[in-house]
Amino acid sequence: VRLAPEVADALLERWPVARLATLSADGRPHLVPIVFARRDGALWSPVDGKPKGGGELARVRNLRERPRVSVLLDHYDADWRRLWWLRVDGRARAVEGAPDAGDAELAAVAAALRAKYPQYAEWPLFRGRPLLLRIAIDALRSWCAGAEGLREAQRASRP
């Protein structure tokens, strides 16, 4: 069973977490959880101030060379009638900038991220120079286990 377009749309707006799959140079998929906000029809995920290893992140290195990515939003529940998922197949690029220095697009994205995640009052949105992943949506696929899954997704899609 597929999610209704308006439910999928609202989940892209409000669901707090997704898993991002990129492709490594050696042909292996690479997976990491991400936070994201939608702006102008794309998903934006910041390389933020949560603790990370040194050097350029694998996700960034991968998508600079191989931009096709997959992003999964989903709900797990011990009651399997409530399961749903929503998958974005897209193309990603790394966007660098300085939203505090007059870049209107990045400032708007930063504002969308701060509005969605009050956590950024305590956590740095960027580490030094701003760096975000911009994921353009090529296709959406969704699934749910049935009427209970639809209801669960609808509940999650409401403000």
Question: In the complex, which residues of this chain contact its own copies (CB under 8 A)?
Answer: 1, 16-17, 19, 21-23, 27-33, 50-51, 66, 68-72, 74, 76, 78, 80, 83, 85, 87, 89, 119, 123, 143, 145-146
Largest CA distance in the chain: 49
Closer residue to its own copies (CB): 76 or 104: 76
Closer residue to its own copies (CB): 19 or 61: 19
Min. distance of Cβ 25 from its own copies in angstroms? 12
Min. distance of Cβ 122 from its own copies in angstroms? 8
Min. distance of Cβ 109 from its own copies in angstroms? 19
Closer residue to its own copies (CB): 59 or 134: 59
Min. distance of Cβ 21 from its own copies in angstroms? 4
Task: For helices 147-157 and 5-14, give the axis angle rounded to 10 degrees.
Answer: 50
Nearest alpha-carbon partner for 23 in 62, 65, 52, 71: 62
Task: Report the alpha-carbon distance of residue 48 to residue 126 in Å, rounded.
Answer: 4
